[in-house]
Amino acid sequence: MLKKLSMFLVLFCAVFAFAQIKPSFQAFDADYLKLDEAEHGYHHFKIQVSYAPWAFVAEGQVKAPQGDIDLLFNSMDNDQLYIEVAYAESPVGGSDGLEYQAGIYDVMIYYSDGADEFPTKIKDLKVSLLPPIANDSWATGSLADAQEKRGTPGSVFKNPENADAIFQASARPLSKAQAQAARKAAIDKQRNAEKARRDSIAAAKETAAANALAAQKTKEEKRAAVKARNDSIAAARRAEQQAAQQKKLTPREQKQQAVQARQQPKPAPAARPAPAGDPCDQPGMTPLQKKRCKMNRK
């Protein structure tokens, strides 16, 4: 008994919570609308919107407010028709990186005579999603959930609590030109964000490379400073050792060492090149040698 009561309370809370959620509304110009010739007072219609944040097609049967089979056709050219879409504000990401509204509750076509606005009568409404969200599980789930909770067809547009939102949306119907401009703006924003991300990554890499180079330079400078300090310490130690060794010698040994240093053979002077001139008239030659040299040259 308690289990059944708890399940009933959960179901009641879920239904009550949904009832408290007010749908959002978006109006579209009649240039999204295609009508067939009327049969038994109803026109087959098709509404297709494929500009972010919208990607859906709605089809069904529509009847003019007064049942005039020519009224809707004539009103399309006179800018007297517009479309209202009721949806749940829960955007999903498309495969193109843009966001789309998929939770569509209901669709209504309105006729305006300039003073008053009249809803048409729609039946057999079918709403489906278009790429890039047609195969997205989140998007299809959002649409299915909204369709299950919409209640009686057209009831969301008859609810007095939604009248103000519907009226405000009707004052700004979205045309194809506006939708194209909005999509272009969204794509430009996405591209700019991607470029900013790439530039940020490139700047971070450059900074990291510069930091690595500076760190390597600092490391090399430290290594050179350590080597110079070690060399200086080693030279000082060698000088101390030599000085200590000198102190250990007796005066006589020091004198003998100095004498030995002086007696070291000096390097022989480099031989001077032979003076240029007559080879048979060189210094040191006897007259006989000079005579024989000259005779041998003849």
Q: What angle do CA 130, 136, 137 make, to 5 degrees?
A: 130
Lowest mean pLDDT of 17-31, 59-73, 105-119, 257-271, name the range: 257-271
pLDDT computed for residue 8 by the predictor: 42
Percent of the chain with pLDDT over 90: 40
The three-class DSSP label of residue 96 is: coil
Buried b (16+ CB within 10 A) or exposed e, 119-136: ebbbeebebebeebbbeb
pLDDT computed for residue 281 by the predictor: 78
For the chain, the domains span 17-174, 175-239
pLDDT computed for residue 268 by the predictor: 63
Model pTM?
A: 0.57
**Mean pLDDT for the stretch of residues 188-215:** 79
pLDDT computed for residue 266 by the predictor: 67
- Residue 273: is its pLDDT beyond 70? no
pLDDT computed for residue 215 by the predictor: 87
- Residue 99: is its pLDDT beyond 90? yes
**Mean pLDDT for the stretch of residues 115-140:** 94
pLDDT computed for residue 223 by the predictor: 85
- Residue 280: is its pLDDT beyond 90? no
In three state form, how does the secondary structure of 178-227 look? Answer: HHHHHHHHHHHHHHHHHHHHHHHHHHHHHHHHHHHHHHHHHHHHHHHHHH
**Mean pLDDT for the stretch of residues 129-142:** 95
pLDDT computed for residue 18 by the predictor: 40
Q: How far apart are CA 271 and CA 81, in angstroms?
A: 121
pLDDT band for position 290 (50/70/90)?
confident
pLDDT digits (tens, 9 = 90+) for 207-260: 888 888 888 888 888 888 888 888 888 888 888 777 777 666 777 777 777 787
Q: Report the mean per-residue pLDDT for the chain.
A: 82
Percent of the chain with pLDDT over 70: 83
pLDDT computed for residue 186 by the predictor: 63
Residue 196 main-chain phi, psi, to 5 deg: -60, -40
Residue of higher predicted confidence among 130 and 13: 130
pLDDT digits (tens, 9 = 90+) for 65-81: 988 888 998 888 778 99
